[in-house]
Amino acid sequence: QQQVKQSPQSLIVQKGGISIINCAYENTAFDYFPWYQQFPGKGPALLIAIRPDVSEKKEGRFTISFNKSAKQFSLHIMDSQPGDSATYFCAASGTSNTGKLIFGQGTTLQVKP
Amino acid sequence: DAGITQSPRHKVTETGTPVTLRCHQTENHRYMYWYRQDPGHGLRLIHYSYGVKDTDKGEVSDGYSVSRSKTEDFLLTLESATSSQTSVYFCAIRKNTEAFFGQGTRLTVV
């Protein structure tokens, strides 16, 4: 049972374009939604995170949009750069306070120069 | 990197042999986690620990055991490795509300 569904599986964007990755979740008890960025041979690194009390959070070129009623959230990368080429994972965590994360399947982003 | 070291970084082992992966942290965080990463599945939680000798199962715990005898070390053991356990294994710690991951261990079971 995949509690967090991520799409698309892969994405190719031109330099300067907008990259959009979408995630949908099922468990309404989730209250923390982070995005991770992973480069080849490295561990995932936290990029940006949101809680359901806000609909949008922006950090530099990265924005999370959150739709609580639709149980969906998305990552927007503005002015995409070749250095953004990586695999991106959305995740969700619940109220148990254990910090356990449920991850989406991942999206491989390629930004072409 | 939140002071996380995984060892070994790469390992090839034969089916049926026991394998132990080690995660070492230097910052005395209470929570530690083991995830496996497989194409099409993202990362899935195997086991986690919330203190010395306190551990619990994750979503894919079958075939794995863990131990935490010291705050800084969290060990993952494959009792009898199978080809389905070929994967990249990541250890993570929880710092405030954020998870920080190690560099990973690539395990191949032949």
Of B44, B50, B100, the CB nearest to A98: B50
Report how far apart, in Å, the C-alpha atoms of A16 and of each of A35, A56, A59, A87, A111 are: 21, 22, 17, 18, 9
Whole-number mean pLDDT of chain B? 95
Q: Show the tokens assigned to B51.
A: 């203190």
- Dump pLDDT digits (tens) for A68-84: 999 999 999 999 999 99
Contact yes or no for B97 and A44 at CB 8 A: no
Distance separating alpha carbons of residues A99 and B32, to the nearest angstrom: 9
Closest by Cα among B66, B79, B7 to B31: B66
Q: What is the pLDDT of residue A2?
A: 65
Interchain contact A18–B (C-beta under 8 A): no
DSSP string, B55-91: EEE-TT-TTEEEEEEETTEEEEEESS--GGG-EEEEE
Confidence of residue B97 (pLDDT cuts 50, 70, 90): confident
Contact yes or no for B97 and A89 at CB 8 A: no
Contact yes or no for A99 and B94 at CB 8 A: yes
Q: What is the pLDDT of residue A1?
A: 56
Confidence of residue B69 (pLDDT cuts 50, 70, 90): very high
Interchain contact A52–B (C-beta under 8 A): no
Q: What is the pLDDT of residue B23?
A: 98
Contact yes or no for B42 and A101 at CB 8 A: no
Of A41, A43, A106, the CB nearest to B101: A43
Does the pLDDT value for residue B49 go beyond 60?
Answer: yes
Does the pLDDT value for residue A22 go beyond 60?
Answer: yes
